[in-house]
Amino acid sequence: MRYSKIVGLGHHVPETVITNEYLSGIMDTNDEWITERTGIKERRYVDPVKDTVANMAAKATRMALERANLTEKDIDFIVFATITPDYFFPGSGVLLQRELGLESIGALDIRNACSGFIYALSVADQFIKSGMYKTILVVGAEIQSTAIDMTTRGRNTAVIFADGAGAVILQPTDQPGILSTHLHADGRYAEELYVRDPGSSRPREERQPEQILDTTTFKVVMNGSQVFKHAVVRFMEVINEALAANGMKKEDIDLLIPHQANLRISQFVQHKLELPDSKVYNNIMRYGNTTAASIPIALSEAWAEGKVKEDNLICLAAFGSGFTWASALIRW
Ligand code: UT7
């Protein structure tokens, strides 16, 4: 039986640290509210002159390649999860291919928001299992700071969302690696967390930018409490689905890496699964919610801290815009 295995992991976060105090100076919010409701203390924002989604992804990729003892030339396919591509089109996968100096390998973008990395991992896993590719780069990267409403009107999103990139390299193995992935969506809730423009579903005269007078439609809109309520239910469902599919129990999990949506969501899931602190990895306190980048950044940091060991059972789980939700169980 052919499985895929993560052979290298890397991440990159921008240098600029944005504290809760800084945000409190430009909108009506405060450290106490943000800490209590989200657990976030600081996050990173790009320097728009220097950083792009593709070049942050390239930095994360180089770290992953180095840790895997591989080079750019070994990569034969790219799967790139992002909802904040550098251009409206083409996607960021081709820009990453260019950044890495690779000439003609295929590159695919995945736009499934916070679940994007697990969707991307699942797609890559199928390509490896089928024998179509041998070394696949899977990336999650986002620049969200430039699409956020940085006024009091947008404070429920401004305090949460941030920038960063994470990457993993997948290769085939005949030992269990990625055991299973589980992907879900419910489009009835698409507008509960979305950015409307530049969307194509407008009459021609309205789609011209100079006609879009209400530019808030280019910013992130989120019904936070609705997202929260669905997230806690779907996280549990999709983790339990992964465990059941593999005949395992919650006690078998060595490390849970939840998408870093909100520390209170991660803590709810931890409590329901009765996992000790040592079995749940969170870094949202330092990076905020980096959407598709959050799981690969957390996985890369957890691995570097020695918390992801050989033979461990690692569970990844996510929920976000769409709504979409997903999980993966990995024998490391
Ligand atoms: O990545 C996956 C997708 N995203 C998520 O999973 C996020 C899920 N949702 C959340 O994390 C939470 O809903 C938030 C942290 C975004 C908001 O927390 P909440 O407890 O659900 O607050 P709320 O939106 O129900 O708002 C409660 C109050 C409101 O004031 P009033 O109307 O009660 O006077 C908000 O205006 O808190 C106010 N508020 C704030 N106050 C200070 C909202 N954001 C802020 C803020 N600072 N940043």
104 burial via Cβ count (<10 Å: 0-12, 13-18, 19+): exposed
The full 3-state SS of the chain, as one line of letters, equals: CCEEEEEEEEEECCCEEEEHHHHHHHCCCCHHHHHHHHCCCEEEECCCCCCCHHHHHHHHHHHHHHHHCCCHHHCCEEEEECCCCCCCCCCHHHHHHHHCCCCCCEEEEECCHHHHHHHHHHHHHHHHHHCCCCCEEEEEEECCHHHCCCCHHHHHHHCCECCEEEEEEEEEECCCCEEEEEEEECHHHHHHEECCCCCCCCCHHHHCHHHCCCHHHHCCEECHHHHHHHHHHHHHHHHHHHHHHCCCCHHHCCEEEECCCCHHHHHHHHHHHCCCHHHECCCHHHHCECHHHHHHHHHHHHHHCCCCCCCCEEEEEEEECCCEEEEEEEEC
Query: Of the CATH numbers 3.40.47.10, 3.20.20.70, 3.30.2350.10, 3.90.1150.10, which one belongs to the domain with range 3-175?
Result: 3.40.47.10
Dihedral over alpha carbons 221, 156, 322, 51 (to 10 degrees): 80
State in Å: Cα 221 to ligand 1 middle: 12
How is the chain split into domains, by residue range?
3-175, 179-331
Output the ligand 1 site: residues, CB below 6 A.
29, 33-34, 37-38, 114, 155-156, 159-160, 193, 224-225, 227-228, 231, 261-262, 265, 289, 319-320
Phi, psi of 7, deg, nearest 5: -105, -10
Shared fold status for 3-175 and 179-331: yes
The reply to whether 289 belongs to the active site is yes
Residues of the chain under the 50 pLDDT cut:
none
CB proximity list for 283: less than 8 A, separation 6 or greater: 260, 297, 298, 301
Asked if 38 and 284 touch (Cβ cutoff 8 Å), the reply is yes
State in Å: Cα 83 to ligand 1 middle: 22
Residue 11: the pLDDT is 98
Residue among 182, 259, 282, 315 flagged as catalytic: 259
Residue among 114, 156, 282, 283 flagged as catalytic: 114
State in Å: Cα 278 to ligand 1 middle: 28
Taking CA atoms, 173 is separated from 39, 40, 182, 273, 285, in Å, by 38, 38, 21, 30, 35
Residues 67-110 pLDDT 10s: 999 999 999 999 999 999 999 999 999 999 999 999 899 999 99
CATH number of 179-331: 3.40.47.10
d(CA 54, CA 85): 8
Spatial CA neighbour of 123 closest among 71, 167, 81: 81
Q: Ligand 1, from 37, 112, 159: best to mutate by most atoms within 8 Å of Cβ? A: 37
Which atom of ligand 1 is nearest to 320's Cα?
2
Kindly report the pTM of this predicted structure. 0.96
CA 48, chain centre distance (Å):
20
Asked if 236 and 243 touch (Cβ cutoff 8 Å), the reply is no
